[in-house]
Amino acid sequence: MSDKLFVPDIGDFEKVEVIELLVKVGDQINLNDPVVTIESDKSSVEIPTTVSGKIESVKVKVGDKVSKGDLLLNIITSKESLSEKPIPKDTESIIKQAEAVLKNEKKEETISQNSIKEKKKEIIQVKNDNDIDPLETQDWLESLSAVVKKDGNQRAHFLIKELINKAYREGANIPYTQSTPYINSIPPEAEVKSNGDQNIERRIRSLIRWNAAAMVVRANKKFPELGGHIGTFASAATLYDVGMNHFWRAKNNKFGGDLVYFQGHSAPGIYARAFLEGRLNEKQLDSFRQEVKPGGLSSYPHPWLMPKFWQFPTVSMGLGPMLAIYQARYMKYLINRGLIKDEGRKVWAFLGDGEMDEPESMGAIGLAAREKLDNLIFVVNCNLQRLDGPVRGNGKIIQELEGSFRGAGWNVIKVIWGSYWDSLIANDKTGHLAKVMNETVDGEYQAMKARDGAYVREKFFGKYPETQELVSSLSDKDIWRLNRGGHDPHKVYAAYDQASKNKGSPTVIIAKTIKGYGMGKTGESVNTTHQTKKLDVDDLMYYRDRFDVPLTDEQVKNVEYFKPDEKSLEIKYIKEKRMRLGGFLPERTTYSKPIKAPAKDIFDFMKVSTGEKEMSTTMALVRMFTNLLRDKNVSPRLVPIIPDEARTFGMEGFFQKIGIYAHEGQKYEPEDSAQLSSYREEKTGQVLEEGINEAGAMSSWIAAATSYTNHDIEMIPIYIFYSMFGFQRIGDLAWAAGDSQARGFLIGATAGRTTLAGEGLQHQDGHSHLIASTIPNCVSYDPTFHYELAVIFREGLRRMHEKNENVFYYITTMNENYSHPGMPKDKNCEQGILNGMYKIKEFNKYKKTKIQLLGSGTILREMMAAAEILQNEYQIDSEIWSVTSFNELRKDGMEVERYNLLNPDKDQKVSFVEQCLGKTEGPILAASDYMRMNSDQIRPYTDKSFYSLGTDGYGRSDTRKNLRKFFEVDKEHIVAYGLSVLAKEQLIASKHAKEAIKKYNIDGNKPMPTKL
C-alpha cells in the first residue's frame, strides 16, 4: 500500500525552505522519524513521518520552499499502525548503565503502618470571651469529637470543610486562617517511637555538641580573626542527630542516596560528627577555617573546597531551599524519563527561620506543591533568632510559616513542644495553656529562655490563674526543663517518620528550638548568640556539665576534643547506625560514565558558508541542537531549559520533537494540537519549560549540571535565556554553580548592547561576559560565526562531558541575521577559536601603514566592514582578528605573566595574545558589543599601543544602526577612530582622521554615552 506524507500545519509560516533531507528513496522509516528539516527566518524544525514504511519517492529537494499541504514523500506503508508509540530512543541502555552502578536490588522497604493508639476521649473547652453561647459551642465540639472517634480524622475534616463551604454559600464572611493552634501537629498518642537507645544517642549528641563548639573556640584562640558559629548547631543538634541515626540513607552500590542540604552555619556540627565517625581527625578539626593549606576544613559547605565531602553549597541564605526544591523536581524528572530508578530517595533541606525571609526561600514552594514533590522535606530550625535579634519578635514565625506552606499545599508538621509538656497540655482542661501559648510572641519566648524557671513561671504561666495552677506542683527547675520540640529526639523522630511516609505533597517540619542551646548566660537565647565564637572557662565548664561531657576541668580549660575509644559503645553505635543506613553522610562521589562527544563531522554543516542565507547565531545554535538530538549518545542526555522564551529563540520545534516535561502528562488538548510545533507536555518530556522564572531555571540547571555526582548520571543541561537576565539576575546562583562544580552550557541569547535593537535599557546586555569572568571555572565565549560556535560547543562537550572537567560554559548568541562564511582553512584556526582569537582576514594591498583590528561577537562584522573602507578609501592595511573570548585570553595572559614574574631566571613564556600580535605591525584597535572593560582585559599582555571601543552606558531602544552609532561601534566610527589612532601613533597625518570625522558627521564634543 502506498501512502503520502504532506507538510503539516507549520503555524503562521508560508513557503518555508527545506534545508535538509534526512531520508532517501529506499530507506525504511518508522513512525515519527524525522524526514526533512525546514527553516523559516526564525527557526528550524524537523518534520516527522506519520506513517512507517519504505520510501518510494522524495518529492522535495534542499532549497525548495514548501507550505502546509505540499507533498513531501510517497511511502510504501508497512503494517505498523498510526497509534503506535515509538520506543524511546536509548532509554534502555541508560537504564542498564544506571543499573550497573546500582547493581543490587534495593530491599523493599516495608513501611510499617503507624499504629495510632486509640485517642483518649477528651474535649478541650477553650474559654473564649467572644463566645456568646458556650453550651452550644460545647455541643458542637462534642459532636466533632464523636465523629473523630467513630469515623476518624478524614471524616471530621470532610465535615468541617463542608460546614465552611456551606457558611460561605450562605454569605457568612468568615475570617479564614491558615494556621492551627500553637501545638505539635502530631499528638503524643500518634507519635511513632524510635527504636534507638536514647541514652547512647544523648551521649553521642553531647560529644558532637562539645567537639563542634571546641573546634570553633580553638580556632579562635589561635587566630581570633577566623570566626565561626556555635549557636546555630547548638540549636540544631537533635534535628541532625535523629536524621543521621535513623533516616538519611547514604549513596552506595545498592542505593542512590538521600540528598541532604545542611544549613551552612551548622557546618561545625557536621564536622564534629564526622570526627566521631572516624572520617576526620583532630588535626583536621584544628584546621577549621584554615583552608589554604590542603586538608583544612571549609568554613561552610563548599564542594569546591572539600570535593569529597560537601555536596551542596548552602551558606548564601535562600539558595539552599530553592536548589533543594529544584533538586527534588529534577529527581522526579530523571525518574519519569526512565533515566534513574525510583528508589524512594528523599531530598532534605535544613533551613534557618531567619533565612526564610529571603524571597528565594519561599519563592518556589508553590512549584514544590504543584509538582507533588513528596520526595522533598524541609526542616526549618525555628530558634526564633537570626543574626541581629528575633526573627519575629512581635509575632510567631512558626505560625506564619505554617500559614504560607499550608496555603501553598505543603504537608506541615509543627514540632513545637517537647515531651515534658505532654502532660501539661493534656491537663489543660480550660484551654488556658493553649491560650497563653497562642498569645505569647516570639520576643517573649526568646527572652524567657535567656532567663530561668522562675521567670518563665511568672511571665508565662503567671498570665492566668488557670495556668499558674497547672504548674503549681512543678519546681522552677522542672519548669526550666520543659523542653522545646526541636530538642526532643522523640518528637523529632515522630515528625521525620511521618514526613518520610507522606505521599503526594512536600513536607515542611517546623521545629522550635533555642539558639545557642546549652551555652548558658553568654550564648543561650541572647541577641548576640549568632556571633558568639569564644567561650570563657566558666562557659565551657557550664557547657560540659550541661551535657555531661566526660572531661576533667583541666581538659576543659585546654578545650580538648573528646573522642571515646573505638571499642566504646558510643563509637560502635554511631558507626553501626550509619552502616545500616548505607554509609556516611555527607559524602560526594561520582560513578557516572562519560558521554562520548559526537564525531566532529556532525558539526561539518556549520563549517561551510551559508552563502546568501542569513541567520543569527541563536538560530545556528538551534540548528546545532537539532543535529545533536540525532546523536544517540548525546540526545537522551540533553536537558534543554527555557524560561518561557522558546519562541523568542526559535526553539518551539522542540515542544513536539522531545516534549515538555510535565509530571502529570497533558490533561488537555492544546489549542495548537494540529500544528507541527504544538505545545506538547508529557511525563517523559525532555524540555524543562520553567516559565518566567530565571532563578528556578538556573536551579534546575544546577541540579542537572551536578547530576553526575548526585545521581551518577552525566547529563548535558543547556539553559538558554536572555543574556541580560542571566548572570546579572541570578549571579549568586551562578557562583554556587561554580562551587558545585557544575558542568553544562549557559547560553546568553539575544546578547549584546546593540544587537537587540528595540528592547531598550533593561534588555540590552553589555556586561554579562564581565560577570561571567568573575567565576573561576566558567569558560565564556562571544562567537560571531556559526563555525566558531560549532568548534566551541563541541569542545565544551568534550571537556565537560567526555573528559569530566569541572568547568561550565557561557556562550553568547545574537539575534542579528547575517550570512556566515565557511571556516578558514588555516590549521591553527580551530585552536585559535578555542584560545580566544585567530586571524580571520588580512588586507595587505598597500604595504605602507597597518592596523590590527580586534572584533568580538557581532561587532566583528563592523570591524571587517571598516577594514574594507580603510583599505579602499585610505590605503590602510589591516589584520582582522576574531576574538572569541577576551576572558579566555586574559586568563592565559595572567597566568603567563605570573609565571614569568615568579621565574625570572627561566625561559619566559609568551602569552597567546602576544603569540598572535607580537610580530604584527601597527597599533591595536579592539571593539565588542560589551563595555570597553571587556576588550581592555588583554591590554596588559601586549606591548603594542592598544585602544578600545565598547558600549559603555545604558542601552536604549532604537534601530541597530542608530545604536551602534550612538555607542560608536559602527563601521564609520571604527574607521574614524582607526585613522585617529594611526595619527596619534604618528603613522599618518591627522587630517585623514579629521576628514573622516567630518564625513561621518561625528560630533567630537558629544558627551560620553555613559552620561546620556
Ligand X SMILES: Cc1ncc(C[n+]2csc(CCOP(=O)(O)OP(=O)(O)O)c2C)c(N)n1
Q: Which residues contribute to the site for Mg ion (CB under 5 A)?
A: 352-354, 383, 385
- H or E stretch covering 838: strand 837-843
Partner from ligand X, Mg ion, none binding residue 449, C-beta < 5-8 Å depending on class: none
Contacting ligand X within 912-931 (CB under 6 A): none
Write the interaction track for ligand X spanning residues 273-312; mark x where CB under 6 A is met and - where it is not. ----------------------------------------
Q: Which listed option, Mg ion, ligand X, none, makes contact with residue 21 (CB within 5 to 8 Å by class)?
A: none
Please say whether the beta carbons of 922 and 946 come within 8 A: no
Q: Which does 485 bind (CB under 5 to 8 A by kind): Mg ion, ligand X, none?
A: none
315 binds, among ligand X, Mg ion, none (CB under 5 to 8 A by kind): ligand X
Residue 700 interacts, among ligand X, Mg ion, none and using kind-specific CB cut-offs from 5 to 8 Å, with none
How far is residue 198's CA from residue 489's CA, in Å, rounded to a whole number?
A: 8
In this structure, the strands spanning 507-512 and 411-415 are parallel
Query: Residue 316 or residue 817: which is nearer to ligand X going by CB?
Result: 316
CA pair distance 983, 471, nearest whole angstrom: 93
Task: Say whether residue 245 binds ligand X (CB under 6 A).
Answer: no
Q: How far is the CB of 354 from Mg ion (least distance, A)?
A: 5
Q: Shortest distance, CB of residue 323 to ligand X, whole angstroms?
A: 13
Q: Which of 49, 299, 381, 948 binds ligand X (CB under 6 A)?
A: 381
- Our CB check for ligand X shows the closer of 322 and 854 to be 322
Residue 613 DSSP symbol: -
Q: How far is the CB of 385 from ligand X (least distance, A)?
A: 5
> Minimum distance from CB of 411 to ligand X (Å)?
22
Q: How far is CA 630 from the centre of its chain?
A: 28
Short-list 246, 235, 189, CA closest to 212 = 235
| CA dist list (Å): 185 to 190, 411, 491, 931 | 10, 10, 10, 56
Is 750 an interacting residue with respect to ligand X (CB under 6 A)? Answer: no
In angstroms, what is the minimal distance from the CB of 476 to Mg ion?
Answer: 27
CB 696 within 8 A of CB 364: yes
Please give the backbone phi and psi of residue 710, each rounded to the nearest 5 degrees, phi first. -80, -20
Distance CA 763, CA 443 (A): 45
446 contact choice in Mg ion, ligand X, none (CB below 5 to 8 Å, kind-dependent): none
- Measured from the CB atom, the residue of 316 and 684 that comes closer to ligand X is 316
Q: Which does 530 bind (CB under 5 to 8 A by kind): ligand X, Mg ion, none?
A: ligand X
| Contact of residue 387 among ligand X, Mg ion, none (CB under 5-8 Å per partner type) | ligand X
262 vs 309, beta carbon nearer ligand X: 262
Site for ligand X, residues 490 to 529, rule: CB under 6 A: 515
362 binds ligand X (CB under 6 A): no
Q: SS3 of 145, please?
A: helix
Helix, strand, coil shares of the chain, percent, nearest 5, are 40, 15, 45
Q: Cβ distance 411 to 185 under 8 Å?
A: no
Helix (H/G/I), strand (E/B), else coil: 689: strand
Task: Pick the closest to residue 322 from 280, 273, 356 (CA basis).
Answer: 356
Instruction: Name which of 378 and 785 has its Cβ closer to ligand X.
Output: 378
Q: Which C-beta is closer to Mg ion: that of 30 or that of 440?
A: 440
Contact 346, 376 (CB under 8 A): yes
**885-919 residues labelled b (16+ CB within 10 A) or e (exposed):** bbbbbbbbbeebeeeeeeeeeeeeeebbbbbbbee
Cα dihedral 64, 69, 71, 74 in deg (nearest 10): 150
Strands 16-21 and 34-39: antiparallel
316 binds, among ligand X, Mg ion, none (CB under 5 to 8 A by kind): ligand X
Residue 508 C-beta: closest distance to ligand X, Å: 15
Determine, following the binding rule CB under 6 A, whether residue 807 of this chain makes contact with ligand X.
no
Cβ proximity to ligand X: between 380 and 676 the closer is 380
> Which CB atom, from 527 or from 915, has the smaller least distance to Mg ion?
527
Shorter beta-carbon distance to ligand X: residue 55 or 384: 384
Q: In sequence order, what DSSP letters do the residues of 258-269 get, joined into one string?
A: -EEE--GGGHHH
Nearer to ligand X, 316 or 522 (CB): 316
At 639, is the secondary structure helix, strand, or coil?
strand
**String of b and e for 774-788 (b: at least 16 CB within 10 Å)?**
ebeebbbbbbbbbbb
Tell me how many residues contact ligand X (CB under 6 A): 19
Q: Across the chain, which distance is largest between two alpha carbons, in Å?
A: 107
Residues 382-401, one symbol each (x = binds ligand X by CB under 6 A, - = not), give -x-xxx---x----------
Give me the least distance between CB of 1009 and ligand X, in Å please: 34
Among 77, 316, 404, 962, binds ligand X (CB under 6 A): 316
Residue closer to ligand X, measured from CB, 327 or 383: 383
End-to-end CA distance of the chain: 70
Residue list 318-357, contact with ligand X (CB under 6 A): 318, 352-355
Give min distance, CB of 239 to ligand X, in A.
10
Distance between CA 866 and CA 854 in Å, rounded? 12
- In angstroms, the Cα distances linking 540 to 189, 224, 553, 619 are 38, 17, 9, 65
Q: How far is the CB of 177 from ligand X (least distance, A)?
A: 25
Q: Which stretch binds ligand X (CB under 6 A): 314-322, 487-495, 883-891, 953-961?
A: 314-322
Choose from Mg ion, ligand X, none: what does 290 bind? Cβ within 5-8 Å by kind: none
| Contact assessment for residue 378 and residue 349, using Cβ atoms and an 8 Å cutoff | yes
In this structure, what C-alpha cell is assigned to residue 200? 547512647
Binding partner of 618, given ligand X, Mg ion, none, CB within 5-8 angstroms per partner class: none
The option from Mg ion, ligand X, none interacting with 375 (CB < 5 to 8 A, set by class) reads: none
Closest CB to ligand X among 362 and 387? 387
Q: Cα separations (Å) of 195 from 85, 246, 600, 695, 776?
A: 49, 9, 59, 42, 48
Which residue number, 391 or 778, has a Cβ lying nearer to ligand X? Answer: 391
Q: Which is nearer to ligand X, 319 or 996 (CB)?
A: 319
Closest residue to ligand X, judged by C-beta, is 352
Q: Is 265 in the site for ligand X (CB under 6 A)?
A: yes
Nearest distance from C-beta of residue 156 to Mg ion, angstroms:
35
Contact footprint for ligand X (CB under 6 A): 232, 235, 265, 315-318, 352-355, 381, 383, 385-387, 391, 515, 530
